Amino acid sequence: MHDASATGEIVVDTRQYTMRIVVVAHERLWDQHGQMLLDPEVSLETYWTNLPVSEKQVESVYHMHGTMEQYHAELKSDMGIERLPSGKFHANTLHLLCGMIACNLLRRVGMRMLESGKTPGQRGRRLRLRTVLQSVMDMAGAIVHHSGQVIVKICSHHAWAPAFMGMYVSFSSA
């Protein structure tokens, strides 16, 4: 990987801006199957920025921006808030705040389930909100009051039951 940058002046509507162009070159010697390439494959990424940071940090910031875009798209699609329900600004604000609280709670539940190490299948570093909704919220269970205790009973044959119990124990001990 090679990094380079150059600084230049840009004029937009009679206003002058100082911008830096960061060029990051990636050289691939193997394909995705591990086969060595005869000619290396070179890809270039360019970033226009005015951030006073190194080239590696510029690349990292722009990649984090793409990750945030995924979170926003997931929030809108999985939580069902692509369209706002009202023409009133205050009603839409309340709707978005409720969606944000629900999203953050589901994200925390998903992270605790991953931390338990008992999620079925091969999982990455995070669970989509839709996965948490479908796996945990649709799980059959009951809250039982018996002998002055509150007991959570769930179907032990469900694939997500161990992950749910690991998450439940971590929340109850916190």
Note down pLDDT in tens along the chain; length 174 residues.
Answer: 566 767 777 778 888 888 888 888 889 998 888 899 899 899 888 888 888 888 888 888 888 887 788 878 887 888 788 888 888 999 999 988 998 898 888 888 888 888 877 778 766 677 788 888 888 777 888 889 999 998 888 887 888 888 888 887 887 776
Tell me how many degrees the CA angle 134-132-95 measures, rounded to the nearest 5. 95
The two beta strands, 15-30 and 36-49, are antiparallel
DSSP H or E run through 165:
helix 161-173
The domain ranges of the chain are 79-174
Give residue for tokens 């002046």: 9
Predicted TM-score (pTM) of this structure: 0.57
